[in-house]
Amino acid sequence: MTSNQIRRRFLDFFKDKNHAVLNSAPLVTSDTKGLTNSTLFNTAGVQPLIPYLLGETHPEGKRLASVQKCLRTTDIEEVSDATHATFFEMLGNWSLGDYFKEEAIKLSFEFLTDKEVGLGLDPERLYVTVFEGDENAPKDDEAFSIWKKYLPASRIYFMSADSNWWSAGDNGPCGPDTEMFYDITKDGLGELSKEAYIKADEEQKVVEIWNDVFMEYEKKDGEIKGKLSEQNVDTGSGLERITMVTQGKDSIFDTDLFSPLIEKIKKEAENYNTEGGRIIADHLKAVSFMLTEGVLPSNTDRGYILRRLLRRAIRWSDKLKIENIKISDLADIVALIYKDTYPEITENLESIKKAIDLEEIKFRKRLKAGLKELEKGTDPFILFTTYGFPVELTKELRAENGQDIDLEDFAKKLKAHQDLSRTGAAEKFKGGLASHDQKSIQYHTATHLLHQALREVLGDHVSQKGSNITTDRLRFDFTHSAKMTDGEKKSVEDLVNQKIKEGLPVKSITLPKAEAEKTAALHFFGDKYGDEVNIYYIGESLEGAFSKEFCGGPHIKNTSELSNFKIKKEESVASGTRRIKATLE
């Protein structure tokens, strides 16, 4: 079975069991939910769904399934092992107050083992863990006895909260989980004692392929207060790993999701080694997806993650002596692997490759000088800021000489550096509204309408990159990778003009930060907001408002004060960033 077939099969299976199939949210987290503020990329299928697990009603119903693009930089050190990638896809199914443990386990087991509609995996190779109980919550006997219908008790292990308990924080739902592992050894491990199973896990002889979380309890101020009235199920299974076990491969890099990349690297490298090959393949893939969504290399936030991955891959390509192709040529293969599932990579291929080439040139300019500094023992943070050496690179290069670096010290300095540059960005943004005369204020409100209209027409990936207002036009920069079509421009204009015609009130409300974030009002990523936040919303009520944004104002009182809205220009300002100039006529 190919990975494309597995992805399809998963969604068909759950569709057939009355689940609504959701599209993957972008890799880049949306800035609207507040809750995702601390992560720059979606790291699990559940992430875009958190508001619904916390009680919001999902428009598609109570049974959901998706294949979500994920990025985990926390796994960067693991990337050369058999089962970890930085970019991967997570298959998931959810019950929002609908089915619970009985059905969730049945669905997982059936999809894994059924030959007709599932993957036809061998149940003899499955091992599962359930929660053993602690002072907070009892042993999960229920999950244990459900699993016993499918597997011998000897292959079901009770494990501690470290591995089998899920919690989102001090407040909200939490509960036990059950994890499924697959034996990937040639001859099969057979019966394993708990100790032997734990050892097999450490040695990667069994691979975690799926995790079902049962949101059963409610936590308040860090203490469990009882059962939730609505119990949810949240599951996650890595497509790469599921493909690996289904295809009988030893690592995710041997599956069709990676092998064309690995093969190409092997062919071009004079000095191939597995670790380097996997790192280059993984990082180039992640970088291609990030660039597709408009992330660009920089020294902060998402851009810094991209830069780290790309520069590390470039350095490894030197080590492996890949000299006859450019590293950006590997993006062609990423596009090919995902041409059916994520055609946007192919569509953006040219600009992806250009961005990679530019970054490579930048990096190479400094590489020689940086290597000299490195030999002198220069501080890793200086190597980063002055010579563009990502910290992993410095760490790897120093390790070659048996030296260690102080990662904590680096992290501290980086944070101070980023806080400074964010303040800079915030100042610039606020400076967007230079004058408080009536015309500028009108343009300010029109900018809010435009922002929301763009999201409705182009999609939720649109977020503000910058804004500048004068008395005779607004200028708005936003994330979007393609040139807008005439039809799209017209739809945006029409939507803004419709809202103007509706004569909607423009209101504001001040809320404690946590509550403000729950309203899903748009806000600037990474901006520091105080304990109290002001939200401007356009519409009768906050809930039903057409537009909501964290904003200090000032604004007009009613959209009817605005005249006809017209887009004058739509252009690219950087890869993945478009600019609109518009007027009120």
The reply to whether 209 sits near ligand ATP by the rule CB under 6 A is yes
Residue nearest to ligand ATP (CB): 238
- CA-to-CA separations, 119 to 1, 6, 9, in angstroms, rounded: 8, 7, 8
Q: By CB under 6 A, which span of 47-55, 134-142, 205-213, 266-274 interacts with ligand ATP?
A: 205-213
Name the minimum Å distance from CB 252 to ligand ATP.
Answer: 6
DSSP state for residue 255 in the 8-state scheme: S
CB nearer ligand ATP, residue 250 or residue 540: 250
CB of 209 to ligand ATP, least distance (A): 5
Q: Is 206:119 a contact under the CB 8 Å cutoff? A: no
Under the binding rule (CB under 6 A), the answer on residue 342 touching ligand ATP is no
Contact window for ligand ATP (CB under 6 A) among 80-88, 350-358, 448-456, 490-498: 80-88
Does the footprint of ligand ATP cover residue 578 (CB under 6 A)? no
Binding to ligand ATP by residue 241, rule CB under 6 A?
Answer: yes
Using CA atoms in the order 259, 264, 268, 270, what is the torsion angle rounded to 10 degrees? 0
282 touches ligand ATP (CB under 6 A): no
**CA–CA separation, 64 vs 93, rounded Å?**
6
SS3 411: helix
Position 351 contacts ligand ATP (CB under 6 A): no
Q: How far is the CB of 239 from ligand ATP (least distance, A)?
A: 8
- If binding is defined by CB under 6 A, does position 159 make contact with ligand ATP? no
Residue 216 or 240: which CB sits closer to ligand ATP?
240
Residue 236 interacts with ligand ATP (CB under 6 A): yes or no = yes
b/e code 508-517 from CB counts within 10 Å (16+ = b): eeebeeeebb
The tokens 């990523």 sit on which residue? 525
Asked if residue 175 binds ligand ATP (CB under 6 A), the reply is: no
- Nearer of residues 84 and 249 to ligand ATP, judged by Cβ: 84
Q: Are strands 506-512 and 473-479 parallel, antiparallel or unpaired?
A: unpaired
Q: Which of residues 46-75 bind ligand ATP (CB under 6 A)?
A: 72, 75
Q: What share of the chain is helix, strand, coil (3-state, %, to 5)?
A: 45, 25, 35
Q: Does 99 bind ligand ATP (CB under 6 A)?
A: no
CA distance linking residue 528 with residue 343, whole number of Å: 36
Stretches 112-120, 230-238, 449-457, 571-579: which one binds ligand ATP (CB under 6 A)? 230-238
Give me the least distance between CB of 106 and ligand ATP, in Å please. 18
Residue 73 or 145: the one with the smaller Cβ distance to ligand ATP is 73
Q: How far is the CB of 241 from ligand ATP (least distance, A)?
A: 4
**Does residue 549 bind ligand ATP (CB under 6 A)?**
no
Q: Candidates 30-38, 78-86, 152-160, 186-194 — which segment interacts with ligand ATP by CB under 6 A?
A: 78-86
Q: Which CB atom, from 237 or from 559, has the smaller least distance to ligand ATP?
A: 237
Residue of 98, 208, 216, 392 that binds ligand ATP (CB under 6 A): 208
Beta strands in 221-286 (DSSP E): 223-238
* Residue 210 within binding range of ligand ATP, rule CB under 6 A: yes
DSSP state string for 49-92: GHHHHTTPPPTT-SEEEEEEEEE-GGGGGGTTSSS--SEEEEEE
Q: Which is nearer to ligand ATP, 241 or 555 (CB)?
A: 241
What does the alpha-carbon distance between residue 338 and residue 40 come to, in Å, rounded to a whole number? Answer: 23
Of 133, 206, 213, 136, which is closest to residue 175 (Cα–Cα)?
213
Question: Using the rule CB under 6 A, is 85 a contact of ligand ATP?
Answer: yes
Count interface residues toward ligand ATP (CB under 6 A): 17
The answer to whether 189 touches 203, Cβ cutoff 8 Å, is no
Decide if residue 405 touches ligand ATP (CB under 6 A). no
Query: What is the DSSP secondary structure assignment for residue 45, as one 8-state letter?
Result: T
Pick from 28, 49, 53, 90: which binds ligand ATP (CB under 6 A)? 90
Q: Please identify, using beta-carbon distances, which residue of 202 and 427 lies nearer to ligand ATP.
A: 202
Q: Which stretch binds ligand ATP (CB under 6 A): 82-90, 223-231, 335-343, 512-520?
A: 82-90
The letter for the amino acid at 371 is L
Cβ of residue 287: shortest distance to ligand ATP, in angstroms? 16
151 Cβ neighbours under 8 A, 6+ residues apart:
123, 126, 128
Q: Which is nearer to ligand ATP, 2 or 57 (CB)?
A: 2
Peptide bond into 554 cis (omega under 30): yes
Nearer to ligand ATP among residue 52 and residue 87 (C-beta): 87
CA distance 544 to 534: 17
In this chain, which of 30, 211, 246, 255 binds ligand ATP, going by CB under 6 A?
Answer: 211
If binding is defined by CB under 6 A, does position 285 make contact with ligand ATP? no
Work out the burial of residue 380: count CB atoms within 10 Å of its CB; fewer than 13 is exposed, 13-18 middle, 19 or more buried. buried
Q: How many CB atoms sit inside 10 A of residue 251's CB?
A: 21
84 is an interface residue for ligand ATP by CB under 6 A: yes
What is the CB neighbour count within 10 angstroms for residue 214?
27
Is the Cβ of residue 77 or residue 571 nearer to ligand ATP in the bound state?
77
| Closest CA relative to residue 52, chosen from 71, 35, 67, 29 | 35
**Which positions ≥6 away from 345 have C-beta within 8 Å?**
288, 289, 292, 331, 334, 335, 338, 339, 352
Query: Which of 355, 334, 358, 356 is closest to 346 using CA atoms?
Result: 334
By the rule CB under 6 A, 277 interacts with ligand ATP: no
Task: For ligand ATP, give the closer residue by CB, 202 or 408.
Answer: 202
Q: At CA 60, angle to CA 57 and CA 62, rounded to 5?
A: 65
User: Applying CB under 6 A, which of residues 14, 41, 52, 88 lies at the interface with ligand ATP?
Assistant: 88
Where along the sequence are the contacts to ligand ATP (CB under 6 A)? Answer: 44, 72, 75, 83-85, 88, 90, 208-211, 236-238, 240-241
